Structures are given as C-alpha cells and as structure tokens.
Amino acid sequence: MLNAETFITPTKGTGGTIRVEYEDFYVEEIPETIPTGEGPNTWMWIEKKGRTTLDVVLDIARDLKLSRKRMGFAGMKDKKAVTRQWLGISNFESKDLEPILDKYHHVKFIKVTQNQKKLRMGQLLGNKFRILIRNIENPDESAFEAQKVLKKLEEVGTPNYYGWQRFGKPRSNTHLVGKALTKNSLKKTVGAYIGNPYDDEPEHIKAARAAYDDGNLEKSFELMPTGMRYERMMLRTLLKEEKKKQTLDEESYRKALYSLPKPLSRMFIHAYQSFLFNKAVSKRSALGINQYHEGDIIIDNDEHLIHDGSPEDIQEQMDNFQAHPTAPLFGSKVPLAGGKLGEMEQEVLDEEGLSLDDFKCPKMPKLGSHGLRRAIRFKIWDVSATATPEGILTEFSIPKGCYATAVLREIMKTEAV
C-alpha cells in the first residue's frame, strides 16, 4: 500500500497472490437500507466483473440519455473483482430499463425495484469480502496463520490504510495530480493526468501520453485509446480551447478539469490526502494502534470528537471499539494532535514541503479540502481463513470507506494489490 510502512501483527506472512482471476476477489455491499418497492426512484442491484462503478454508471446514463446527476451509488467498488452493489436513478420507472438489461458485458441486473428515496454516496454500512489467496506453499499451515492474524485484527483493529485503488494501479498517479493542485498549477495538474507516461504502461498508451508532453494535442487525442475516456474528455476540451484561442491558459486547463465527472475530479486532492494519511498512520501505529497516548485526538464511531473523559475512560472505550485514535486527512482547517504526536504529523507535511493552506487550492477552490480527522484503525467481523486446493480462502466484513487490502497486507506481509 502506497506510503504504508508499519505492520501490527508479528507473523512472517503467507505470501501468495490475489486477483489471479476476477472471481478470486468477491465484494458485496452491505446496504444501509433496502428499497421498499414503491416510489419515484429506481434502484438496481447489479453484479459487475472487471469494470469500475463509474464506468457502468456513465454507460447507463449515456444509453438512457440521462444526466449523470440523476445516477446514484453508495460507494465505488473494485474493478479487478466480482462485485455486487446498488445503483440508483432518480425519478425513473423500472420498466424503462428494459432496453439495456442485457446490453453490458460483465454486468448483470439481479434485481430492479423502486424506492421513495434516492441513493446517495455513503449510504452503506460496509462490505463483505471473499478473497482467494493463491500460490501458497502450504495452504493448511498458512490458513492457520491467517486465522491467527484475523483474530488479532478482530481484537485490536486493522490499520486504516488507503489501498492502491485510491491511487490507481498500475499507474499510481492520482495523488500526484492532487499534489500538483496543492502547488496551484493547473497546467501541471492536467499534465500529471494526461501526460507523464509510466514505464510499465502499454507502448501505445505511452506514445499518446508522450505526444501530450510534447505539446501535440491532436496526436495525443488520436493515439489515446477510446477506453481512456477521461484523458480523452480533457483532451477534447483542450483542443476546443486551442482552436478558439490559439494558445492554452490557466482557464483552459480549468475547463479541462471541470470536464471530468465530479467524483473523479474530487478524487485528486482526496488521493493526495490519502497518501499523506498513510504515512501518518504508519508513524502512529508504531506506538500501538489500540493504545491511547497523550495528545491523541479521539473520535467515536459516528466520527464525533470525544473531548471528555480520563485517559482510563478513553482507553476502555477504545478497548470496546467505541472510540479510536485518529490521524489527519490534511486540509486547510484540520487540527493537528498535541505534543509529540502533533510533531509527528507536522513532519509529514514538512517532508512534502506543504502547509495546511495549500489545500485551499485557490485556482480550483471547489476541489480544495478543509480536511478532517480519520480513525487510524477499523473493526473487522465475520472472519475466517480456510485451506483450499487453490490456496487460502479468506472471508471478512469491514466498514464502509475501508480497504480489504489492509487486512490482506497483514496476512500476506507483501503488497496486496
């Protein structure tokens, strides 16, 4: 996991490989509410394989000739996996979905119904996972070790690291786009996304990105595969600007960024915050993920700050998973911890040459962030690890906004991608 440096369990790790097949990584949303069957809004329980949530949402909106704003989902799900989740369309009748129900490759509409309320981001309790770890030398012994790790994590919590999905994989650059935003250069922000080819990308994609870096927008657009829909969105906008103005200015790059779906453009700063958060969690976890320390900023399960209570009272709440130490998702108004813990958090900023005000992003204030405190651990439940002929089958559930790969990282002691 990018910028994650600390393990909290002492086992040597099972090693192994995940996501060899899409079916090896199964995710099912645990919904906050179940649709009633009546109301003006359509809810769809779908299963997708090898596709992002946003891609499916955009395809449905396009083919039904609907505004993307009418589409809803509770959370993004993994691409390289088989996943089940609810999608929603506001002010829409289920019967009008008929033309597209069998249209999409690797997308099944399992249930379509109506509901009074719209489906909004964050309306889920968590996700349950069933993940096969392959290429294990001794599955029986490794399953026993994995079960010990899961039980330990069930007892003390799992480090709340952000997984590779937050940054993109194999092209892990989303946080670098966000970093450019904090430096207040829109040209560099767009360039970090469209240009800047990575060595392990396919040659034809590297050529398209290199053409952008060389200033040849038309060639970059021609070479950019149609599947790179977001790069092409921005390139299309920039080409219009170039034709209109003969040159590109900061307003041109601003328009290019605003051409992206809002969930994606907002992800840039969030990814950079996540990169820094992982470093802060690494430092704080080394002191004990379930231990209270003077200066800690503590939150409850509703993410409210806990101001009162003796150290002993707070520790008891932490032992019962009613309270949690936090680290900062750095932003313009986020408070830092006190004492030595605050000094550790300031070190993370200093290493990046940052101040909190940089997260205001004055040229794109709608993409800036005030920041917040986020728990450094999360609870897991319904855990198991079983030996199979293919390896180890792990099962567990985790809260929304947390990453299964943080659990797998502790089991495997290798990068779980």
Distance CA 198, CA 256 (A): 22
Please, what's the largest Cα pairwise distance for the chain? 67
Catalytic residues: 78
Instruction: Tell me how far CA of residue 342 lies from CA of 161, 179, 334, 354, 387, in angstroms.
Output: 19, 22, 12, 15, 44
Whether the CB-CB separation of 341 and 291 falls below 8 Å is answered with no
Whether the CB-CB separation of 398 and 129 falls below 8 Å is answered with yes
Tokens of 17: 């490989």
Count CB neighbours of 161 within 10 A. 27
The residue among 154, 231, 224 whose CA lies nearest residue 193 is 231
Count CB neighbours of 263 within 10 A. 15
Distance CA 174, CA 148 (A): 35
Tokens of 243: 């034709």
The one-letter amino acid code at 324 reads H
